[in-house]
Amino acid sequence: MSLHAAVDFGASSGRVMLGAVGTDHLELTEAARFRNGAVLVPRERGAALYWDMVGLWRESLTGLQRVAELARAAGEPVASVGVATWAVDYGLLDGDGTLLAAPRSYRDARTDGVAERLHQRVPAAELYRRNGLQHLPFTTVYQLLAEQEESLLASARSLLLLPDLVGWWLSGHRGAESTNVSTTGLADVHTGRWAPDLVELAGIDPALLAPEHDPGVVLAGLRPEVEESTGLDGARLVAVGSHDTASAVVGVPAADERFAYVVCGTWSLVGVELEEPVLTEASLASGFTNERGVDGRIRYLHNVMGLWVLQGCLADWGLDSTGLPPLLAAAGDLPAGGPVIDVDDPVFLHPGPMVSRVQRACEAAGQPVPTERPAVVRCVLDSLAGAFARAVEDAVRLSGRDVDVVHVVGGGAQNALLCQLTADACGRPVLAGPVEATALGNVLVQARAAGTVTGGLEDLRALVAKTAELVRYVPGR
């Protein structure tokens, strides 16, 4: 048995977990949970949307301190720490390693129109063949093009993706983990390594980028000051699937390869796992991405706007997630066949009032406009379930991979109405759970690096399947 700490930042909440892993044992204990969200900060040229990275760092240290206490109580040392966050965003550092500014959020409006301008120079189909990514306006390559308009790049000597930034703060190791590198648009889809031609296209000095490494590598010990403040003596930083979705896909309790997944959080990432990328025109047209998974697998998936839309509605009503259960109960009592919207429409991407955007989308589509809260919730969930089903069907059609079951992992696995609607829309059984798939994938890769568990992703997933509580939803119930 070995103990590992998982630092896991999501766009709306973060957590630090203690994982205990053995050949027949997999258990998480929550050491800290905290809210997260991008914040608008005024500037002369209009506000910009930032992540409070320093605040997240403070929460990580507090969480790691608690991890050390829990481990001491269990009488076992913590062998290692792994970090995962959302993808594409980065911090810029000067030559001294000082973070030059709070990292910008991918939802910032600075990338509006940037991709379209680049595609006039380099056709989207050509980029797709090189980097394998669906068109999302906020992919790092487009953010860097927008960054050229700002003053920060001139002083930057280093660019670190967010989990690598936290890793650098923890250990002093400067690197770039390959699952997250694959989301930047700057990497070769076949190798997962920085592609010089794509880096040039982004207009940045290649020297800003850190050397790539794969998940499972032991990177470094912790900085003495981090050891001292957390009490994590002797723990090492281990590379995990630092893109949260990559770790979550490791944590999917699939029995064999005939599965689709919905990693359902602020975003919902819907797809299959493949050995080789799919780079056809049809794949590009359907908005499918080829991101790198742990062990060199391909996460062939589509980004569905996800619970972000629901979270935005709750925020409009002044509610947090505790206000959701009664709304879900009422929404579940409404008949099927109500209004649906295209949740992938970029109008939903930026922060701001959400209910009115949902209502306008219904109106524009010539559908009944939901006014009562349960009707709005039902409209959002029906729309998400429909989008999940389309993405599963597309993934099957475009990749040729047959799928017997749809695994829903992440926070959305707790939403019974969404899971049932998803099973109904997909016409396939849904297996829901675990909620903390990202943290599980994180600690499992660390435990494998420590030698506590062995084997491929199938073996790691078998351990999740054996230890997690899963709920099965059958279509048409």
For 109-238, strand residue ranges (E) read 158-161, 176-177, 212-213, 218-221, 236-238
Q: Let me know: does 189 contact 279? Beta carbons within 8 Å.
A: yes
88 binds ligand LFR (CB under 6 A): yes
Closest residue by Cα to residue 131 from 292, 272, 334: 292
Nearer to ligand LFR, 266 or 415 (CB): 266
Q: Does 288 bind ligand LFR (CB under 6 A)?
A: no
> What residues between 1 and 30 interact with ligand LFR by CB under 6 A?
10-11
Q: Does 86 bind ligand LFR (CB under 6 A)?
A: yes
**Would you tell me the crossing angle of helices 416-426 and 324-333 to the nearest 10 degrees?**
40
| Residue 348 within binding range of ligand LFR, rule CB under 6 A | no
| Tokens of residue 404, six digits | 């017997």
- Torsion 180-183-186-191 (CA) sign: positive
Backbone angles phi, psi at 303, to 5 degrees: -80, 115
Q: Is position 94 annotated as part of the catalytic site?
A: no
Residue 245: phi, psi to the nearest 5? -65, -35
Q: Which two tokens stand for residue 356?
A: 């009115």
Number of amino acids touching ligand LFR (CB under 6 A): 14
- Residue 346 CB, nearest approach to ligand LFR (Å): 14
Residue choice 87, 186, 262, 408 for contact with ligand LFR (CB under 6 A) = 87
Closer to ligand LFR by CB, 192 or 370: give it.
192
Nearer to ligand LFR, 138 or 169 (CB): 138
Q: Which stretch binds ligand LFR (CB under 6 A): 86-94, 96-104, 274-282, 315-323?
A: 86-94
Burial code (b: 16+ CB inside 10 Å, e: under 16) for 391-419 equals bbbbbbebbebebebbbbbbbbbbbebbb
Tell me the C-alpha distance between 68 and 60, whole Å.
12
Is residue 303 a contact point for ligand LFR (CB under 6 A)? Answer: yes
CB nearer to ligand LFR: pick between 106 and 348: 106
Under DSSP, the state recorded for 42 is -
Structure tokens, 314: 């709750």
* Closest separation in Å from C-beta 88 to ligand LFR: 4
Question: Least Å distance between CB 185 and ligand LFR?
Answer: 12
Closest residue by Cα to residue 179 from 210, 209, 155, 213 = 213
DSSP assignments along 217-284, one per residue: -EEEEPPHHHHHHH--TT-EEE----BHHHHHHHT---SSS-EEEEEESSSEEEEEEESS----HHHH
By CB atoms closer than 10 A (0-12, 13-18, 19+), residue 160 is buried
Looking at the Cβ atoms of 76 and 344, the one nearer to ligand LFR is 344
For ligand LFR, the closer CB: 235 or 418 = 418
Q: Shortest distance, CB of residue 249 to ligand LFR, whole angstroms?
A: 10
Question: What pairs with residue 407 in β-bridges?
Answer: 261, 431
Choice from 265, 312, 339, 370 touching ligand LFR (CB under 6 A): 265
Least Cβ distance, residue 410 to ligand LFR (angstroms): 9
SS3 of residue 408 by DSSP? strand
Residues of span 227-256 touching ligand LFR by CB under 6 A: 243-245
How far is residue 390's CA from residue 386's CA, in Å, rounded to a whole number? 6
Q: Which stretch binds ligand LFR (CB under 6 A): 33-41, 196-204, 259-267, 278-286?
A: 259-267
Quick check: 168 binds ligand LFR (CB under 6 A)? no
- Asked if 453 is part of the footprint of ligand LFR (rule: CB under 6 A), the reply reads no
Of 8, 244, 382, 424, catalytic: 244
Tell me the closest approach of the beta carbon of residue 304 to ligand LFR, in angstroms: 10
Residue 178, interface with ligand LFR (CB under 6 A)? no
Residue 226, interface with ligand LFR (CB under 6 A)?
no
Q: Interacting stretch for ligand LFR, rule CB under 6 A, among 28-36, 84-92, 94-102, 335-343? A: 84-92
Interacting residue ranges for ligand LFR, rule: CB under 6 A:
10-11, 86-88, 106, 243-245, 265-267, 269, 303
- The catalytic residue positions are 244
